[in-house]
Amino acid sequence: MSAASGDEKRIGVREFRARKTTGDPLVVVAAYDTLFARLADEGGVDAVLVGDSLGNVVAGFDSTIPVTLDQMIYHGAAARRGVARAMLIVDMPFLTCQLGVERAMINCGRVMQETGAHAVKIEGGDEESAQAVKAVVRLGIPVMGHIGFTPQSVNTLGGFRVQGREPEAAQRLIDEARRLEDAGAYSVVLELVPSAVAQAVTDAVTIPTIGIGAGAGCDGQVLVLFDLLGLTDRFSPKFLKRYASMAEDVRSAVRRFREDVVDGRYPDSDHSF
pLDDT of residue 135 exceeding 90:
yes
pLDDT of residue 7 exceeding 60:
no
Q: Taking a C-beta distance cutoff of 8 angstroms, is the pair 149, 160 a contact?
A: yes
Neighbours of 249 (CB within 10 A): 13
Catalytic residue among 123, 191, 248, 259: 191
Residues 212-225 have pLDDT tens digits of: 999 999 999 999 99
pLDDT of residue 111 exceeding 50:
yes
Whole-angstrom distance, CA of residue 47 vs CA of residue 10: 10
pLDDT of residue 72 exceeding 50:
yes
Average pLDDT over residues 147-167: 95
Helix (H) or strand (E) holding 212: strand 209-212
> What's the pTM value of the predicted model, to 2 decimals?
0.95
191 is catalytic: yes
Residues 50-70 have pLDDT tens digits of: 999 999 999 999 999 999 999
Whole-angstrom distance, CA of residue 192 vs CA of residue 187: 17
**Measured distance between the N- and C-terminal CA atoms of the chain, rounded to whole angstroms:** 35
Angle between helix axes 34-42 and 69-80 (nearest 10 degrees) is 50
Higher-scoring residue by pLDDT: 162, 2: 162
> How high is the pLDDT of residue 6?
45
Whole-angstrom distance, CA of residue 20 vs CA of residue 35: 30
Domains, the chain: 2-242 (3.20.20.60), 245-273 (no CATH)
Question: What is the per-residue burial (b if ≥16 Cβ within 10 Å, else e) of 93-113?
Answer: bbebbbeebeebbebbeebbe
Average pLDDT over residues 24-35: 98
Q: Considering the chain, what percentage of its residues have pLDDT values greater than 90?
A: 95
What letter does residue 43 receive in the DSSP assignment? Answer: T
> How high is the pLDDT of residue 153?
95
